Amino acid sequence: MTGAVPVKPQPGEEAADPVALAAELIRAPSVTPHAQDALELVARRLEAAGYHVERLTFSTDGVPVVNLYARIGEAAPNLCFAGHVDVVPEGDAAAWRHGPYAGTVEDGVLYGRGAVDMKGAVAAFLAAALAFGRPARGSLSFLITGDEEGPALDGTVRVVEWLTAKGEVIDHCVLGEPTNPQALGDAFKVGRRGSLSGIVTVKGVQGHVAYPHLADNPIPRLLKLLAALTAMPLDEGSDFFPPSNLEVVSVDVANPVFNLIPAEATARFNVRFNDLFTLESLKAEIVRRLDSAGAAYALAFRPGASQSFLTAPSPFTDLVADAVAAETGRRPEASTSGGSSDARFIKDLCPVVEFGLVGQTMHKVDEATPVSDIRALARIYGRIIERYFATFA
């Protein structure tokens, strides 16, 4: 068993080594939205390679969020790599095998918060882009945010607005989210389900449980509404998507005692939905189901809902799948499963596919990835870059 050692780039030798870059990024703690140090590491590497780098700061709630857009080349086509360097909190740091921000390699595995989600992928694409250099025809660009794991109000969505306003064109995009369930080459994402959250509230009259005729218990009515909401599947899935799914995630009456009928009962739900629904048609279906229960209620849909989207099969999706297969020996499944990602914003600019590391340890204590996977991912990204400009430029 080898000892645990921090990974340090050797002067002039590992300037584009993806494992050294990933470790360096991990050692720049960047819990959302405080990702400026990690972003600055990426910016300095890109500027040294001749990229024009824009540092973009946005603030909705008074907390500044730093983002980065960098490009080398002026001509079309523009192939963009998108990702994030912000991470979720480490939790109990004492429970980690190694310090969550140490960027330590032990027995061929890199440990640290963000190793999988997704500093490893950022480092892999950075290494691949630096190795490729300036395209002879066309452009390479990076869109990196510090607000993906948080509310996502001042990250990629704002950068997309900025790019649109200045007329910057991105032709295709690869997003480096961890897409593989078990092994590198399992899957790449060609779409995402939409997401809609809501709160159902039922009003009653508070009173003593011994005198129910003097009160009005809202809980039975809420249960009746939830039964109507969940009795039947929303759909059976579509050609590219699994069935839409509604989950009740909270039922609350804020009542800690046993002798009180509460005055109000609420339930929270989330729907992950496929391309058989739009946001409007899904909201209408939820209202129809609740109305069928015959009980008075109030319904509030939460902000931040997202529409489902699909990047249809094309020469670009084939190119990405071919690059993965050439490196791993497995042709990845075209998947639309999982949660949301910043692809929901980028799809308004251009076709986008997602491919990154294996997601088994993302957000966990001892988040880690084999260094061999980071190196293989860098080679996959390198193949994508080479084939892209050979095909589209």
Residue 3 has pLDDT above 60, yes or no: no
Q: What is the pTM of this model?
A: 0.89
Q: What is the largest CA-CA distance in the chain?
A: 82
Residue 7 has pLDDT above 60, yes or no: no
The residues annotated as belonging to the active site are: 86, 148
Residues 201, 106, single domain; the answer is no
Per-residue confidence (pLDDT) for residue 4, from 0 to 100: 55
Report the alpha-carbon distance of residue 269 to residue 279 in Å, rounded: 15
Two structure tokens written together for 187: 């899957």
Q: Which residues are annotated as a binding site for Zn(2+)?
A: 84, 117, 149, 177, 363
Name the residue range of residue 31's domain: 5-192+308-392
pLDDT of res. 16: 84
Residues 184, 328, single domain; the answer is yes
Q: Is the pLDDT of residue 41 over 90?
A: yes
- The CATH number that applies at residue 62 is 3.40.630.10
Q: 184-196: per-residue pLDDT in tens?
A: 999 999 999 999 9
Instruction: Say if residue 8's pLDDT is above 60.
Output: no
- Tell me what pLDDT residue 15 has: 52
- Its sign, for the CA torsion 107, 111, 116, 118, is negative
Please indicate, yes or no, whether residues 344 and 264 belong to a single structural domain of this protein.
no
Helices and strands of the chain, counted as H and E runs:
9, 20
Specify whether 177 is located in the same domain as 57: yes
Angle, helices 119-132/18-26, rounded to nearest 10 degrees? 140
The answer, yes or no, to whether residue 9 has pLDDT greater than 50, is: no
Give the burial string for 150-169 (b: 16+ CB within 10 Å, else e).
Answer: bbbbbbbbbbbeebeeeebe
Does residue 269 share a domain with residue 318?
no
Residues 360-369 have a mean pLDDT of 97
131 and 219 assigned to the same domain: no
Per-residue buried b or exposed e for 4-35, using 16+ beta carbons within 10 Å of the residue's own CB? eeebeeeeeeebbbbbbbbbbbbbbbbbbbeb
Residue with tokens 């129809």: 288
Point out the least confidently predicted range of 13-27, 91-105, 312-326, 346-360.
13-27
Domain tally, the chain: 2
Same domain, 204 and 236: yes
Average pLDDT score over residue span 266-287 = 97
Mark the binding-site residues, compressed into ranges: 84, 117, 149, 177, 363
Task: List the CATH number of the domain containing 262.
Answer: 3.30.70.360
Last residue of a domain, one of 301, 331, 353: 301
Domain's final residue, options 301, 316, 337 = 301
Shared domain check, 36 and 25: yes
Query: Which residue among 237, 271, 301 closes a domain?
Result: 301
Q: What is the identity of the amino acid at 311?
A: T
